[in-house]
Amino acid sequence: MQAILAVLVVVLLVLARGGAAADEFMFTKFARENVTTTGTAVVTSSGLLQLTNETNERFGHGFYPLPVRFKNTSTGAPLSFSTTFVVAIVPRYTDAHGHGMAFALAPSVAIPGAVAGKNLGLFNTSDNEGQARSEIVAVELDTALDEEFEDIDDNHVGVDVNSLRSVNSTTARFVDVRTYKFANLSLVSGNLLQVWIQYDGASTRLEVMVSPAGVPRPAGALVSCTVNLSSVVADDTYVGFSGANGAAVSSHYVLGWSFRLGGGRAPDLDLSKLPPLPSSKSKKTPLPMLLLATALLLAVVVLILVSAAVTVFVVRRRRFAEEEEDWEIEYGPHRISYKDLHAATRGFRDVVGAGGFGRVYHGVLPRSGAEVAVKKISHDSRQGLREFVSEIASMSRLRHRNLVQLLGYCRRQGELVLVYDYMVNGSLDKHLFTAGQPALSWEQRAKIVRGVAAGLLYLHEGWEQVVVHRDIKAGNVLLDAEMNGKLSDFGLALLYDHGSNPQTTRIVGTIGYLAPEMSKTGRATTNTDVFAFGAFLLEVACGRRPTENSDNADSPGLVDLVLECWKGGRIKDAMDPRIDKFDEDDLELVLKLGLLCSHPDPRRRPSMRQVVQMLEGAAPVPETMPEDLGSSGRIFGYNESFDEFVTMFPTTSEITTVTTQPSSSNSDEQ
Ligand SMILES: *[C@@H]1O[C@H](CO)[C@@H](O)[C@H](O)[C@H]1NC(C)=O
Ligand SMILES: *[C@@H]1O[C@H](CO)[C@@H](O)[C@H](O)[C@H]1NC(C)=O
Ligand SMILES: *[C@@H]1O[C@H](CO)[C@@H](O)[C@H](O)[C@H]1NC(C)=O
Ligand SMILES: *[C@@H]1O[C@H](CO)[C@@H](O)[C@H](O)[C@H]1NC(C)=O
Ligand SMILES: *[C@@H]1O[C@H](CO)[C@@H](O)[C@H](O)[C@H]1NC(C)=O
């Protein structure tokens, strides 16, 4: 009896399963025999089920070839099922794409009258009129908004029963496990999506879960509804997929699929085993993309060209960059562009002189063809720059044939460039003190000292303001082609109004030319210039510097030597031995005038006007005895108090700077 029963059960079971499908199947790679395809659908060589192929208004189906029975044959109760699949919807253009795809239960693999586009290839046009009984249940991934079917948006998941008017639908989204918040999910991103569908026969509840592939199955359903499959689908129902395009197109792919009928879940898909999508857009690049790429390429090329041009421009600009401040505007006409100077000096090549301040270059101005000396002064600070402001200010406005004419200037970062008339014969001290140079004749010397005296007189009396040069010496006298002496280097010049007193200021100048009273008064006056001019006269006549050895305070200065000669009645012995022919009276005049100008008492010194008159023979040299000019030679050297202020520099150095009142030094400039 038991054996008969057992046989009966086996027979019944075999009958029940008949030509029907297995309870469970899984594809991680499709073979052509595994699905029945219609329309545009194909199984690709890589194992993808490709439903559509970017042909307009077409659809494609891929169904499991054997029918599935979703109801219990004896009770008629619906059977549970579970399925999961991975799909990708790749739009041709992100802003214009096909209608979407669906997982479907359908009575046949070729649905009669099915239409593409919004009907998703599953329904015919009369299905949507109300009473249709197409026996179709579908889960749609709808990427188009069809108001006719009351679609909520163009990116939703819905359940369709016999009609495209979804029973229920929700915008595609998923819970991001990192934030525990809903995140939007684009169905047409071209990215892989995984869908889970769970149907419980007892409760007739259908639940749909969606997430990006790789994200675990969501716990809660995105869309759910109740549907009694027993009363909807046919006894022999086919399961599979449909994809449809309209005027715009996408490619709809199914990469893997697992299905289980009865209780429990469909087997998990091993995502790593899925076939790859065709490498995105290895196909034809759509025209807009091509245009975009071309435009982008052009833009990049243009950008590169422009930035190259800008770089060249900036480099050139920086190379020739200049600075300008308000105070310079009044000297505007004297400004010469750095570019012109660069050209004039052929890139600052011919160095004709150098000193503590910087270098002097020879140049030829392009327009006038005038020979110029270009002096480049580095200044690290504003203070350093201010040193030369007065030079620009005064020299650009002073005009005298015994002053070196400043033609213009240029200022840039850390650099001041001054342009002068070029003096062919260089500085006087070179001729006086450089061994090997042909000695200057007395005639030449006499002409030079008279020229310098005239220039200095102009500075003191001939201009609208009193200009104290503050650094008269052979080194600052330049010689033109005719050996005319011209006073140069107004870097230390001090200006004040006629009739007023100059303010106290820093003591500047060169050792040997500094008047002794400066250490007490702190003032540079025309008298202190006269003192320096006296030293200059003796220097030119004797061919010796005022102090031969500045390190040795005991060594007699030039004044003492000349005084000694005079006391001995042989003042002419002080003369430069290199002079062979000379006018005795003139030599004596120059030497005595030199001593007179070097008088330690400023009130006893002549003015430059008197000096010029005496040199021209228009006025006699006052009868003086050497004893009048100071009982002690020490007066002419440096006394101790003076040494305290003076920072010792070699006599050849450009400037000796001593600060007596640092706090007031700024306001005292000019
Ligand atoms: C799919 O087809 C291949 C080739 O015919 C076959 O080996 C495989 O078993 C099939 N897979 C399923 C799940 O039917
Ligand atoms: C798309 O599929 C249809 C039908 O199979 C076919 O006629 C057409 O040539 C295919 N188009 C492309 C671009 O593969
Ligand atoms: C549409 O489908 C219904 C079944 O749901 C069928 O009766 C009807 O004939 C179909 N219409 C066309 C035009 O194929
Ligand atoms: C998700 O999409 C909706 C509708 O398009 C939009 O209103 C919302 O801002 C989006 N949320 C995020 C986080 O992008
Ligand atoms: C589903 O429909 C079938 C046939 O129409 C019926 O026998 C069954 O009771 C229904 N099940 C539920 C849960 O409503």
610 inside domain: yes
Question: In this structure, are 415 and 440 located in the same domain?
Answer: no
Which ligand has the minimum distance to the alpha carbon of residue 184?
4
Residue with tokens 């001995």: 568
The confidence score (pLDDT) of residue 15 equals 43
Is the CB of residue 470 less than 8 Å from the CB of residue 492? yes
- pLDDT at position 478 over 70: yes
Q: Which of 368, 397, 421 is the last residue of a domain?
A: 421
510 inside domain: yes
Query: DSSP state, 575?
Result: S
Residues in the chain: 670
318 inside domain: no
263 inside domain: yes
Residue with tokens 């496990």: 177
Return phi, psi of residue 89, to 5°.
-115, 110
Atom 12 of ligand 5, residue of closest alpha carbon: 228
- HSE of 115 in the Cβ direction (CA atoms, 13 Å)? 12
Atom 13 of ligand 3, residue of closest alpha carbon: 113
Q: Is 470 left (phi over 0), alpha (psi -120 to 50) or beta?
A: left
The confidence score (pLDDT) of residue 80 equals 94
The confidence score (pLDDT) of residue 207 equals 95
The confidence score (pLDDT) of residue 485 equals 93
284 inside domain: no
Q: Which residues contact 668 (CB under 8 A, 6 or more apart)?
A: 503, 504, 505, 506, 661
Task: Output the six-digit token pair for 406.
Answer: 């400043």
Q: Structural domain tally of the chain?
A: 3
Separation CA 549–CA 551 (nearest Å): 5
Question: In this structure, are 106 and 221 located in the same domain?
Answer: yes
Task: Spell out which residues line ligand 1, taking CB within 6 angstroms.
Answer: 25, 27, 31, 33-34
pLDDT, greater one: 386 or 422: 422
The confidence score (pLDDT) of residue 2 equals 58
Separation of CA 123 and ligand 3 centre (Å): 8
Helix (H), strand (E) at residue 200 = strand 192-200
Question: In this structure, are 133 and 49 located in the same domain?
Answer: yes
Task: Output the six-digit token pair for 20.
Answer: 């029907």
Chain center to CA of 489:
41
pLDDT tens by residue, 83-138: 999 999 999 887 778 899 999 999 998 888 888 888 888 888 776 666 667 889 99
pTM value is 0.48
Question: In this structure, are 444 and 335 located in the same domain?
Answer: no
Which ligand has the minimum distance to the alpha carbon of residue 186?
4
| Residue among 230, 232, 235 whose CB has most ligand 5 atoms within 8 A, to mutate | 230
The percentage of residues in the chain with a pLDDT greater than 90, rounded to a whole number, is 36
Residue with tokens 């007699």: 556
Distances in Å between the Cα of 76 and the Cα atoms of 15, 108, 204, 225, 229 are 16, 20, 13, 20, 10
Environment class of 644 (CB within 10 Å of its CB; exposed 0-12, middle 13-18, buried 19+): exposed
| Residue among 105, 122, 123, 124 whose CB has most ligand 3 atoms within 8 A, to mutate | 124
| Residue among 53, 54, 92 whose CB has most ligand 2 atoms within 8 A, to mutate | 53
Separation CA 627–CA 650 (nearest Å): 30
- Mean of the pLDDT values across residues 237-248? 92
Separation of CA 235 and ligand 3 centre (Å): 18
The confidence score (pLDDT) of residue 407 equals 81
Confidence band, pLDDT 50/70/90 cuts, at residue 312: confident
The confidence score (pLDDT) of residue 191 equals 92
Q: What is the DSSP string of 315-378?
A: HHHHHT-----GGGGGGGGGB--HHHHHHHTTTTT-EEEEETTEEEEEEE-TTT--EEEEEEEE
Confidence band, pLDDT 50/70/90 cuts, at residue 21: low
Confidence band, pLDDT 50/70/90 cuts, at residue 648: very low
Q: Taking all residues of the chain, what is their mean pLDDT, rounded to a whole number? A: 81
316 inside domain: no
Domain CATH code at residue 356: 3.30.200.20
The confidence score (pLDDT) of residue 127 equals 66
Question: In this structure, are 407 and 449 located in the same domain?
Answer: no
Distances in Å between the Cα of 609 and the Cα atoms of 78, 288, 452, 472, 589 are 132, 91, 12, 16, 16
Atom 3 of ligand 1, residue of closest alpha carbon: 31
Question: In this structure, are 196 and 109 located in the same domain?
Answer: yes
Environment class of 530 (CB within 10 Å of its CB; exposed 0-12, middle 13-18, buried 19+): buried
pLDDT, greater one: 320 or 23: 23
Strand stretches in 46-184, DSSP E:
49-50, 59-63, 81-91, 100-106, 137-142, 156-161, 168-171, 173-176, 181-184
Question: In this structure, are 332 and 238 located in the same domain?
Answer: no
Structural domain containing residue 249: 2-267
3-state class of 559 per DSSP? helix
Question: In this structure, are 205 and 335 located in the same domain?
Answer: no
Atom 9 of ligand 5, residue of closest alpha carbon: 77
Is the CB of residue 271 less than 8 Å from the CB of residue 213? yes
Separation of CA 232 and ligand 3 centre (Å): 16
Separation CA 100–CA 557 (nearest Å): 110
Confidence band, pLDDT 50/70/90 cuts, at residue 530: very high
- pLDDT at position 311 over 60: yes
Question: In this structure, are 399 and 440 located in the same domain?
Answer: no
- pLDDT at position 565 over 90: no
Q: Which residues contact 119 (CB under 8 A, 6 or more apart)?
A: 125, 127, 164, 244
pLDDT, greater one: 294 or 412: 294
Helix (H), strand (E) at residue 43 = strand 42-43
- HSE of 30 in the Cβ direction (CA atoms, 13 Å)? 31
Q: Which residues contact 146 (CB under 8 A, 6 or more apart)?
A: 118, 164
Question: In this structure, are 507 and 416 located in the same domain?
Answer: no
Separation of CA 59 and ligand 2 centre (Å): 11
Active site amino acids: 471
337 lines ligand 5 (CB under 6 A): no
- pLDDT at position 196 over 90: yes
The confidence score (pLDDT) of residue 33 equals 93
108 lines ligand 3 (CB under 6 A): no
* CA-closest candidate to residue 165, choices 108, 120, 116: 120
Q: What's the angle, vertex CA 637, arms to CA 631 and CA 638, rounded to 5?
A: 120
Task: Spell out which residues line ligand 2, taking CB within 6 angstroms.
Answer: 40, 53-55
Q: Which of 380, 400, 421 is the last residue of a domain?
A: 421
- Mean of the pLDDT values across residues 380-407? 69
Neighbours of 265 (CB within 10 A): 13
pLDDT tens by residue, 252-277: 999 999 999 988 899 999 999 999 99
Confidence band, pLDDT 50/70/90 cuts, at residue 293: confident
Question: In this structure, are 257 and 379 located in the same domain?
Answer: no
Alpha carbon dihedral 401, 404, 410, 414, in 10-degree steps, equals: -160
Neighbours of 514 (CB within 10 A): 26
312 inside domain: no
Separation CA 192–CA 196 (nearest Å): 13
Question: In this structure, are 473 and 604 located in the same domain?
Answer: yes
124 inside domain: yes
Which ligand has the minimum distance to the alpha carbon of residue 108?
3
Which ligand has the minimum distance to the alpha carbon of residue 179?
4
Separation CA 222–CA 218 (nearest Å): 9
- Mean of the pLDDT values across residues 543-549? 78
DSSP H helices, 196-320, are 229-232, 287-319
Q: Which of 267, 299, 318 is the last residue of a domain?
A: 267
